[in-house]
A and B are shown apart, each in its own frame.
Chain A
Amino acid sequence: MAYKIILAGFGGQGILFAGKLLAYAAMLDGLQLSWLPSYGPEMRGGTANCHVIISREPIGSPIITNPDALIVMNGPSLDKFEDQLQPGGTVILDSTLVGRPVKRGDVDTVCVAATEIAESLGRKGLANMVMLGAFLKKTGLFPVESFNVAIKKMLGENKQELAEANITAVSAGFNAV
């Protein structure tokens, strides 16, 4: 079965990058995957989202209409995608930025103060990684160790310092759940 994830938030929060990292980790695991970004007149502060599908089978449509998981980093994204979530699906929510609780009673919600945690680490921009850490803890989609390998490989040798910061943020998110 395919596992379908929508990541959504403001442009500039690293939503597309977070999705790319999940896709990359899936590729390293030898799984099938697709990553589809929203594109258009988006800009920093506007909304951004991406669709990531991970599967053992070849992937048909890369467009997700009923996600299994939702990683949301602002209010408008929760408003937009909450109704689309599969019953029994998972919401990971940045409680620092999303001002309301999840209305659906038939989904699993994890609230993480991701932006606050990232700020306490001195890197507000890594809230996306904190969210991924919480997501990995909740879903067990990838072991953190193999995910960390994906981070290092994706960022490349010249950015290992940044990779370490990302790994720290993922770990903080993992431990916050």
Chain B
Amino acid sequence: MSETVLMKGNEALGEAAIRSGCRHFFGYPITPQTELSAYMARKMPKIGGTFLQAESEIAAINMVYGAAAAGVRAMTSSSSPGISLKSEGISYIAAADLPCVIVNIMRGGPGLGGIQPAQSDYFQATRGGGHGDYHLLVLAPNSVQEMACLTADAFNLSEKYRIPAMILGDGTLGQMMEPVDFSALPKPVFAEKPWATNAMGGRRGPNVIKTLYLLPEELEATILEREKKYDFLRENLQRYEARFTEDADIILCSYGITSRVVETAVRELRNEGIKAGIIRPVTLWPFPEKIFKQVRPKAYLSVEMSMGQMVEDVKLACECRVPVYFTGRTGGIIPSPAEVIAKVKEIHREVCAVV
């Protein structure tokens, strides 16, 4: 049965986490994600879960580390500057091969930046943020419904592959309300956790979760082993949405809320006879590079609320066979469909000129 309700993205994310079996949430307030913490504070005590407002972001991520090591579904959330603080802990969790979900409702940076929506943490999310050879599974919703559904996916995938997952949203998605149907939520699939440090049970020796390997050969072996998992995910977990790409002269690439602006722009461009298409990555890591091998546009345009961070991945994915352009706004400003349309027309004149 459909269970459609009107909810803010932040709240839908919280509800989805609870329905996915998350009973441990550790947070620290920061605009524009605070509603998520507030939702968890309200709900967790009623269902026997733990909501803990930590003394800092660093404490919160380390509580997630501990809870995840004990084998429970744990989550933390923050916004850009807070995620920077969590980055050390995230690297540790990745190194310990633990599942958990980390939410970043991005705001303008760098530094304390601003509180309006941004997408300038793309590098941080997809390239590390913390130190060492590691990756997060990064999911980028573009609606309140997806905030819920991708959160459910994040818990399942994170647990299945023992990799920390990040939901990369922005202030708009966190604050806006749309109808969300919780009956469409992927069901929780709980994995066996023979590695969990949750008392001895019938085990012969204790389980140990650690990230320190003083012998380089030993450390290298753990990294090579983890890389096999990353290779598998790169091969099997790419997700994207592609529209109007078959005959497209210019393919616009964007994720999250910006993809909605692009959607509006592309509808108008199509009405005017300009063959524009859309590739919207849903997984930012692994980046959906395969689809770029199947399309033949004359140019790509990456549209982002940053100075053009995803441009690099688009160039790698299309192997620079055609020019890759960028347009966008940053610092907390959302590009308008008109700005996107103007840029596409400019590119169209360059690459589709009648000779």
Contact = CB atoms under 8 A, between A and B. Distances in A.
A33 interface: yes
A171 to B, nearest CB: 24
A27 B179 contact: yes
B336 A20 contact: no
A63 B171 CA distance: 13
Nearest to A16: B177
Nearest to A36: B176
A62 B336 CA distance: 10
Contacts of B263: 60-61
Interface residues of A, number: 19
B309 interface: no
Contacts of B179: 27, 32-33
Contacts of B267: 60
B336 A40 contact: no
Interface string A11-43: 000000000100110010000111111011100
Contacts of B4: 27
Contacts of B177: 20, 23, 34-36
A34 B264 contact: no
Contacts of B342: none
B337 A60 contact: yes
B178 A33 contact: yes
A65 interface: yes
Interface in B259-287: 260-261, 263-265, 267
Contacts of B178: 33-35, 59, 62
A26 B115 CA distance: 29
Nearest to B177: A35
B176 A40 contact: no
Contacts of A41: 115
Interface string B109-122: 00000011000000
A62 B176 contact: yes
A65 B175 contact: no
Nearest to B34: A39
B31 interface: yes
B334 interface: yes
B331 interface: no
A41 B176 CA distance: 17
A57 to B, nearest CB: 9
A112 to B, nearest CB: 26
Interface in B159-179: 171-172, 175-179
A35 to B, nearest CB: 4
A35 B5 CA distance: 13
Interface of B: 4, 6, 31-32, 115-116, 171-172, 175-179, 257, 260-261, 263-265, 267, 334, 336-338
